[in-house]
Amino acid sequence: MAVCNQYHSKQWTRNFFAVADSSIYMLDHIREMAFDIEKALMHTRASFYTPEDTIIIRNIGAMGVRPTQITMYHTAPGEL
């Protein structure tokens, strides 16, 4: 935050981190939901559940969420 305050107002910095933190919370919730769905499908041994479904769920739950979380805090100066 100290670096951000060198270029932005303290209010802007607080708002930025509040939005980023709430986005991280939401993304964590999405990841948990994706993995819960996968567990439920595997537990019921659904006949329509395929290995490709596992890949899709992993992409939503891990591969899609993690880069988004990182970019919430790491933006280029010209982007904001």
Q: What is the mean pLDDT of residues 55-73?
A: 74
d(C-alpha 8, C-alpha 56), whole Å: 39
Measured between alpha carbons, how far is 55 from 58 in angstroms, rounded to an integer? 5
Question: Phi/psi class of residue 45: alpha, beta or left (left: φ > 0; alpha: ψ in -120 to 50)?
Answer: left
The pLDDT > 70 percentage for the chain reads 84
pLDDT, average across residues 27-41: 83
Q: Could you tell me the pTM of the whole model?
A: 0.62
As to burial, measured by CB atoms within 10 angstroms (0-12 exposed, 13-18 middle, 19+ buried), residue 30 is middle
pLDDT-based confidence at residue 47 (cuts at 50, 70, 90)? low
